[in-house]
Chains A and B, each alone.
Chain A
C-alpha cells in the first residue's frame, strides 16, 4: 500500500470510532489481530512485550470484539453517558512490509470530552496492515502514549 492508501484507511478507522460504530470497527481486525496500548511510563514502548510487561491494553481478537461490544452497552458505566471523541491522524509513513503486508506509523491525538472535562491522548501508532479479498485489515496496532502517567486523563475507556 502507498501512503495515500494507508491514510484513507486510517481516516476510515478514526471515523468509525468517532461515530461510536465500535462493532463495525472491530471488523477491521484480522482473526490473528493484536490491539495494544503500552503503559505511559513504559521504558521501551516500541519493543515492549505484553507477555512480560504490564500494558494498558493488549487485546487479541476475542477481546477486541468484547471491547467493541461492551462499549455499546449502558452497563459500560465508564462510557455512559458516552464521551465525545475526535481522532486526529497525521504524519502517516509507510515503513516497510512485504507480500500483502504493509507496515506504517502515524502520529495521533485523540480528544475526549466526558461531561465537562476534556483531555487529550497523544502519541504514535504502529500498524501492520494486510490487504485481503475483503479489503484492508489490521493485523497489529500498537499505540504508544507521549505521557508519563494518566494523571491528567484519569482513565482510558475509549479506543485510540
Chain B
C-alpha cells in the first residue's frame, strides 16, 4: 500500500454548510488503518456473538471468531451463557476443534488438560511436577471475555472491561430489536442452517451496502425483472412498479445513536411476519392475516403496521446487520484484513409459525439473500469492484454527501430512503471512536 499516505490525521471530513461529507479511501484500503481499527473499534465496541436460541440445551456451544478472536459461545452445564477464549491456558492449543456441538468438558488434545463448560481447570493430566495450589488464583482456568451481555436474546461481547453497558450502547437500535422480537407472541428463533461466505472487500463497504436505498435500482434491476416476470397474469401484476414509484417518498433513513441506523422502506416482496401478497400463495393468506390481527391487538394499529409492512435494514455499529425484509437475516461481518471479510448469515423466524409460513420465509430468503440468491451476489460484486478500484487508483476521497447537513447531529438524523444519512452516522461514529473522542467507556 506504498502508493498511499500512512494513517492520516483526518479520514472523515464533514462540512455541513456545504452539504459535503467525505471519507478518505485509506479508511477502506490501508493496512495501517485496519491495525488501528482492531485496537479502537473491535476492542471497544460491542460485537455480536450469537443468539440465545442457538444454545438450546445446557452444554450447547458454537466456536466463533468475533473481532479477530476465537471464542467458544456456550451455555454451561448450569445454564449460564459464557464466552471463553478458545485456547488452552497451558501452551495455547485450541481446546475446541468443532464448529458446534454439546460438551460438558473441553479436553485439550495436546497435553490433556481438562476444562469444565464453566471454564474451570479440572485436570492437568499429571500426577507430579506441579506445585500444590498452582491454580489457586484461577489463572489457569479458561479465559473468558471481559464483558458478555444480551438484549432480547442477542448476545454481544466487549473486550473492554470499562465499556458502557450493551443497553446504553444499543441506544435507538433497541427499539428496532423490539420491533423484530415483538413480531410474535412466541419466540423469535435462529432457524436451522447458515450461510458462510467471503467477500474481497473492506467490512465497512458491506455495512454501507446493507442499508443503502440509493443502490436498489441499478444493482437489483435483474431481481425486479424477475419479480415482474413472476407476477405476469396474477393479481399482483403492476404492483412492483406502483410501489417502486413511491420508494423514495414512502420510507426514510434514520440514525439511532452511537453509529447505528435503519433504513425503513416499502418494497412489494411480501413479508411472512404479517403482510400478505398474492405472490405468496392463497394457502398462507388466513394465517398471515390472523398474525396481523394479533399484532394489532398487542401493539396497537400504528406499531402493528410498522412491524408488519415496513422493511427494515438495520446496521448496529460496527459489524452487525439485521435485515427484516422479505425474510429476516442476522448477518455478522468478520474482517480478516482491510480488504477481506467473512460473512455469516442466519435466518430468523417465529417458533409458532406454520410449516407453510416457515417454508415461505426460507424460500423468500434464498430468492434474494445469500451467496447464491438473486440479490446479494450482485451487491457483493459491487463491493469487490469498489475495493479493487480503491486499492489500485490514487483517488483520495469517496463522496457520501447525499442528504447531509440538514440535521444538527449526524448521529440522530433523518432523511429520504435513498439519502446517505445512515452512512454519515456510521462514519461520524467511526471517526469519533478511532480518534478517541468517544471512548464508549463509563465515566
- A54, A57, A73, A77, most chain B CB atoms within 10 A: A54
| B380 on interface, CB distance cutoff 8 Å | yes
Query: Cα distance A53–B366 when bound, in Å?
Result: 11
Given A73-B222, A75-B225: A54 touches B378 (CB 8 Å cut-off): no
B-chain residues with CB within 8 Å of residue A152 when the two chains form the complex: 198
Task: Say whether B372 faces chain A, with CB atoms less than 8 Å apart.
Answer: yes
From A14-22, A64-72, A88-96, the one touching the partner chain is A64-72
Answer whether residue A156 sits at the interface, using C-beta atoms and an 8 A cutoff: yes
CB distance from A102 to the nearest CB of B (A): 27
Majority-rule SS of A interface residues:
loop
- Looking across the interface, which residue of chain A has its beta carbon closest to that of B374? A70
Among A67, A69, A76, A80, chain B packs the most CB atoms within 10 A around the CB of A76
Q: Which of the four size classes fits the interface of chain A?
A: 35 or more
Q: Which residues of B contact A136 (CB under 8 A)?
A: none
Interchain CB contact under 8 A, A77 and B372: no
With a CB–CB cut-off of 8 A, which chain A residues contact B342? Answer: 149, 151
Taking CB atoms, residues of chain B closer than 8 Å to A54 are 191-195, 346-347, 362, 365-366, 370
Q: Is the Cβ of B363 less than 8 Å from the Cβ of A78?
A: no
The 28 sampled A-B contact pairs (Cβ below 8 Å) are A41-B194, A41-B196, A48-B193, A51-B358, A52-B191, A52-B192, A53-B193, A54-B194, A54-B195, A55-B193, A55-B362, A55-B366, A56-B366, A58-B362, A58-B363, A63-B367, A66-B226, A70-B374, A75-B222, A149-B342, A150-B195, A150-B198, A154-B380, A155-B371, A155-B380, A156-B372, A157-B371, A157-B377
B residues contacting A by CB (< 8 A) are 99, 191-200, 219, 221-223, 225-226, 229-230, 342, 346-347, 355, 358-359, 362-363, 365-367, 370-372, 374, 376-378, 380-382
Nearest 6 CB-CB pairings of A with B: A54-B193, A78-B377, A149-B196, A51-B359, A155-B371, A150-B197
Interface set of A (CB-CB < 8 Å, partner B): 37, 39-42, 48, 50-58, 62-63, 66-67, 69-70, 73, 75-78, 80, 148-157
